[in-house]
Amino acid sequence: MKLQLFPMDSQRCKLEIESYGYSILDINYVFASEKSVTRSEFELPQFVLVDVKISNKTEKLSSGGEI
């Protein structure tokens, strides 16, 4: 975190959900739509949620599994 502009700064927080114990054949995380997560669901007095971006990523691992 860069705090030079605190308290008027903004931070980008990336959240990745994945499984190390199962392959893509066993488990697949899917949001029903972009509207599955809305800004109105998150209310913290000291934070303002500006944007939500949902994406899907599949990677082939050297172990032969995929996430």
Residue that wins the pLDDT comparison between 2 and 21: 21
Residue 67 has pLDDT above 60, yes or no: no
Report the alpha-carbon distance of residue 63 to residue 65 in Å, rounded: 6
Report the pLDDT value the prediction gives residue 35, as an integer from 0 to 100.
Answer: 64
26/49 Cα distance (integer angstroms):
33
Please name every residue paired with 60 in a beta bridge, in sequence order, or none if there are none: 66
Would the pTM of this model clear 0.75, i.e. be above it? no
The average pLDDT across 20-35 equals 74
pLDDT for the residue 40: 64
- Partners of 44 in the β-ladder: 47
Q: Binning pLDDT at 50, 70 and 90, where does residue 62 land? A: confident
